[in-house]
Amino acid sequence: MPFPRASRWKRRRMDLPCAWSEHVYLLLSTLSFLIGIALITFLHSRHRLDVVVRPGTVPSPAPSVSVIVPARNEARNIRACVESLFSQTYPNLEFIVVDDRSTDATPVILHRLARRDPRLRIVHGTDLPPGWVGKPHALWQGYNVSRGEWLCFVDADTVLAPQAVATCLAQSLEHRADLYTILTDQEMVTFWERTLLPLIMTAISVAYPPTRVNDPKRREAIANGQFILIRREVYERVGGHAAIRDSIVEDRDLARRVKDAGYRLLLADGRAVARTRMYTSLPEMWEGWTKNVFLGLKSEPRLLPLGVLGALIAPLSMLALPLWFLAGALWGLGLLPWDVGPAWVGGVVAAQAAGVFLYLLVWRALAARAMRVPARYALTTPLGLLVIAAIILVSAYRVLTGKGVIWKGRLYRAGRG
């Protein structure tokens, strides 16, 4: 008689781990589901822009504006950029293009354009002085020959709508901004542009939420070097580009100096008045963003461990999602080689995994559509995260080893300057 009781006790004891395991698995899956939904919502809610470029009235007489364009080996872009400057409706402009010792056809194209409009002045850049990097030096040389009450820095790969300067200046005056910058419309044509750029733009917005950038009480500060409008007196008071001579992330660092000095910084959605195509192929994007991430990590050492951690977690998370779903599906179908509990629990686990992935795809599709990219590119999110993770890890390796990066024929190392 004791044997049946012992047998029943043994069976109950064997069932106990199964009961416990199903509750643990369900709890872990539910927590992962809630954390995943919350994290996706958080990441995609931080890019909201509270200021959009809208038509405004320029005062009379119109303040003088000096548009300064740095150009190094920009033969592919410089004509479209300068011609868009010629078409500006703003009445009081001068254009200064600094040829930063280009080795391609950029100087030839510029001289042809200068014959068409006397407002265009060409500055032939000098050798880099010790401690300077290329773009700040080019912009500083442009400033030194400028006369405008406002300075407008425009990248050579940016094309402006005819009303761009007038509209942006009117809005900066309306908001009493001392530095006014816009997010331009990013042209994305190739597969890799459409796969990577929306993710990169989201990452930048997470690091620098526009609403916080525009809040004078917050420390977050960033500007987009593709278009920056700044009062001359403010530029001079914060030291101009001479104060950030060794910075490749010169737009962010200029914005920081302006905001730290107590001046008003304003970031606006300017996609209606300016467009930019930064890179046209995967090799260009790899080189360009490796440079950007490298120099960002170099100037912000505290971001190095966070960058590496994020680069490892993002692709692992995308790998975990299908494994999470597969485990739940096999559980629900009774195909697991061990007994972990009722099939309905496996169905719930699979549904939670699918829910997180679908929620992510919906947000990525909305982000893609906002950037005029087909919504189907949301499906490339795992691939894009993998490539971006590789860029971050390569950049971190180059910072740690001091190997540096080459950009437009110049070597930048992890040391200062």
Strands of 208-308 (E only): list them.
227-231, 265-269, 274-276
Residue 341 is predicted with a pLDDT of 63
* pLDDT at residue 26 tops 90: no
> Which of residues 280 and 150 earns the better pLDDT score?
150
For range 186-205, the mean pLDDT: 91
- 15 and 98 inside one domain: no
| pLDDT single digits (tens) 233-274 | 999 999 999 999 988 789 999 999 999 999 999 999 999 999
Residue 219 lies in a domain: yes
- 36 and 111 inside one domain: no
Residue in 271, 276, 328, 298 with CA at minimum distance from that of residue 405: 298
Residue 59 lies in a domain: no
**CATH number for position 139:** 3.90.550.10
Name the least confident of 36-45, 294-303, 321-330: 294-303
Q: Show which of 280, 314, 334 is a domain's final residue.
A: 280
- 267 and 312 inside one domain: no
Residue 2 is predicted with a pLDDT of 45
Token digits of residue 311: 């680069």
- 311 and 274 inside one domain: no
| Cα-to-chain-centroid distance, residue 327 | 35
* pLDDT at residue 16 tops 50: no
* pLDDT at residue 307 tops 80: no
* pLDDT at residue 321 tops 80: no
Residue 147 lies in a domain: yes
Torsion of CA 72, 78, 81, 87, to 10 degrees: 130
Residue 60 is predicted with a pLDDT of 87
Give CA–CA dist 349/359, Å, rounded: 15
The CA R_g of the chain, rounded to the nearest whole Å, is 27
What one-character-per-residue DSSP string does 151-190 give?
Answer: EEEE-TTEEE-TTHHHHHHHHHHHTT-SEEEEEPEE---S
Residue 65 is predicted with a pLDDT of 98
Residue 295 lies in a domain: no
Reported as type and span, the H/E element at residue 68 is strand 65-71
Torsion of CA 376, 378, 380, 381, to 10 degrees: 180
Q: Show which of 229, 245, 280 is a domain's final residue.
A: 280
Residue 292 lies in a domain: no
Name the least confident of 15-19, 277-281, 336-340: 15-19
- 204 and 307 inside one domain: no
Cis peptide before 2 (omega within 30 of 0): no
Token digits of residue 52: 């959009």
Q: Show which of 280, 312, 331 is a domain's final residue.
A: 280
- 272 and 185 inside one domain: yes
- 184 and 105 inside one domain: yes
Percentage of the chain exceeding pLDDT 90: 47
Give CA–CA dist 191/182, Å, rounded: 25
Residue 33 is predicted with a pLDDT of 76
Best-predicted range by mean pLDDT among 181-185, 245-249, 305-309, 366-370?
A: 181-185
What range defines the domain where residue 227 resides?
65-280
Residue in 264, 311, 236, 272 with CA at minimum distance from that of residue 164: 272
Reported as type and span, the H/E element at residue 410 is strand 410-412
For range 40-49, the mean pLDDT: 74
Residue in 344, 405, 210, 188 with CA at minimum distance from that of residue 281: 188
Reported as type and span, the H/E element at residue 121 is strand 120-124
Q: Which one-letter DSSP state was computed for residue 122?
A: E
| Residues in CB range of 342: below 8 A, 6 or more apart | 22
What one-character-per-residue DSSP string does 307-338 give?
Answer: HHHHHHHHHHHHHHHHHHHHHHHHHHTT-SSS
CA 264 vs CA 67, 228, 252: distances in Å? 21, 13, 14
Residue 5 is predicted with a pLDDT of 43
| Residues in CB range of 112: below 8 A, 6 or more apart | none
Token digits of residue 147: 């006369």
Give CA–CA dist 278/88, Å, rounded: 22
Q: Helix or strand or coil: residue 224?
A: coil
Longest dimension (CA), the chain: 110
- 117 and 233 inside one domain: yes
| pLDDT single digits (tens) 196-238 | 999 888 888 888 889 999 999 999 999 999 999 999 999 999 9
> Which of residues 118 and 29 earns the better pLDDT score?
118
> Which of residues 225 and 407 earns the better pLDDT score?
225
Token digits of residue 414: 């992890």
Give CA–CA dist 180/89, Å, rounded: 19
Per-residue confidence band for 173, with pLDDT thresholds at 50, 70 and 90: very high
Q: How many domains does the chain have?
A: 2
Give CA–CA dist 74/91, Å, rounded: 27
Residue 115 is predicted with a pLDDT of 93
- 183 and 77 inside one domain: yes
Residue 380 lies in a domain: yes
Residue 408 lies in a domain: yes
| pLDDT single digits (tens) 124-163 | 999 999 989 889 999 999 999 999 999 999 999 999 999 9
Residue 292 is predicted with a pLDDT of 74
Per-residue confidence band for 35, with pLDDT thresholds at 50, 70 and 90: confident
Residue in 289, 265, 172, 135 with CA at minimum distance from that of residue 210: 265
Residue 203 is predicted with a pLDDT of 81
Give CA–CA dist 36/38, Å, rounded: 5
Residue 13 is predicted with a pLDDT of 37
- 40 and 148 inside one domain: no
Residue 290 lies in a domain: no
CA 263 vs CA 6, 87, 233, 258, 354: distances in Å? 81, 31, 11, 6, 47
- 268 and 313 inside one domain: no
Name the least confident of 57-71, 255-269, 348-362: 348-362
Q: Which one-letter DSSP state was computed for residue 129?
A: P
For range 105-111, the mean pLDDT: 96
Strands of 270-316 (E only): list them.
274-276
For range 188-201, the mean pLDDT: 92
Token digits of residue 83: 């011609």
State the average pLDDT for the chain: 84
Token digits of residue 219: 């420390």
- 106 and 136 inside one domain: yes
